[in-house]
Amino acid sequence: MLLLKKFIADIVDKCMSVFTMLPDGKTPKQSLYIAIAAAVTLHLMLAILLSLNSDSETKPKPVPQKQMQVIDAVVVDESKLKQQVDKIKKEKAAAKAREDKRIKELEKRAADAKKKRQQEADRIKKLENDRKIKEREKKKADDAAKKARAKAASEEKKRKQKEAERKKSEQAAAAAKAKRIKEEKAAAKAEEDRRKKKLAQEKAAEEERRKKKLAEEKRKKEAAERAEQERLLEQQMQEEMAARNSARNQQVMSEVDKYGALIVSKINNNLISDESTMKGKSCIVKVSLASDGFVVSATPDKGDRVVCDAAVKTIYKLQKLPVSSDPAVFSKMKNLKLTIAPEFN
């Protein structure tokens, strides 16, 4: 029984040590939960211990004094627990007070910012109103100045009109006199001008004929040069075209030969041959192909009948033969003449 009580007392001490060993990183809420759990455990242990003590009082114990000492230790530990719980409550209250203070400061800063924004908006609005008032005043002044300028311009126009009429009458008199003198001089000059004009026209006509002749000669020369250049260019283009066509034809025929060899090889590989009847013999077969290589027809042209029959049967049995996907190459190989000559080792 003493060992059990000692064990329970150790557990109580460990529960009390929880309050002194709480990590600083825990929040007040987490610390409170830990303290409550420890307190519940502690009370359970105390209840068990007290129950054991009550049972021991009905039975004679050899050393009752030590049991009383254990009970005194438990009372001291419960006091420490209460102090620790009060401390946690105070810390929680202090944390809440700090949080409330922080929230109030944030609300105050938000209110100050809102007030500043409103003040700035009012200032901008006042500046905008002042600008509009100044614009109206400026427009009013500009309109007045414009009317004044228009009035002054009208008066100046009238003055200039009168001055122009006076000058016009003076000029009309002077013009009449000048006209008479001018007409007299003009008559004399007109005769001289007619004479000079006639000479100039004759000279200009001669010069025009000369220029036209030179221009025509130049035009004919340039036309001949252009015609020669065009002829040479056409000749060069035809030569280049012929060279390209020749190269293309060579390429096409090379492809035709390649596919022809592939077809003959495929037929020979699948041909059922008999050395006793086919050795040294051959057959030319006419083959018509579709664009996908399908055998449209296969007919003997000339050669050994046995080889021809075997070749035709083999071609129809294959059904498809290799063909080029190039339309130009296929157009040259869609109708082929194939020489089939069985080979024997």
The DSSP annotation for 92-134 comes to HHHHHHHHHHHHHHHHHHHHHHHHHHHHHHHHHHHHHHHHHHH
Q: What is the mean pLDDT of residues 68-95?
A: 71
Structure confidence at residue 69 as a pLDDT band (50, 70, 90): very low
The confidence score (pLDDT) of residue 15 equals 53
Beta strands in the chain (DSSP E): 283-289, 295-303, 335-340
Token pair listed for 160: 């200039």
Distance CA 52, CA 5 (A): 8
Mean pLDDT of 110-119: 89
The neighbour count for residue 306, using CB atoms within 10 Å, is 15
Q: How far apart are CA 121 and CA 336, in angstroms?
A: 94
Q: 319: left (phi > 0), else alpha (psi -120 to 50), else beta?
A: left
Residue 219 CA, chain-centre distance (Å), reads 58
Model pTM?
Answer: 0.32
Do residues 51 and 71 make contact, with C-beta atoms less than 8 angstroms apart? no
Q: Do residues 308 and 285 lie in contact, with contact meaning Cβ atoms separated by under 8 Å?
A: yes
Question: What pLDDT is attached to residue 300?
Answer: 94
Give the C-alpha separation, 257 to 252, whole Å: 9
Confidence of residue 65 (pLDDT cuts 50, 70, 90): very low
Q: 56 exposed, middle or buried (CB, 10 Å; 0-12, 13-18, 19+)?
A: middle
Q: For residues 183 and 189, give the distance between their C-alpha atoms in angstroms, rounded to a whole number.
A: 9
- The whole-angstrom distance between residue 325's C-alpha and the CA centroid of its chain comes to 38
- d(CA 344, CA 333) in angstroms, rounded, equals 28
Query: Which of 12-21, 214-223, 287-296 shows the lowest mean pLDDT across its residues?
Result: 12-21
Q: How many other CB atoms are found less than 10 A from the CB of residue 222?
A: 10
- Whole-angstrom distance, CA of residue 285 vs CA of residue 335: 10
Query: 9: Cβ–Cβ under 8 A, 6 or more apart, which residues?
Result: 49, 70, 73, 74
Query: What is the average pLDDT value for the chain, to the nearest integer?
Result: 79
pLDDT at 308 over 90: yes
Q: Could you tell me if 339 and 264 are in contact, meaning their C-beta atoms sit under 8 angstroms apart?
A: yes
> Helix 64-270 crosses helix 2-20 at what angle (to 10 degrees)?
70
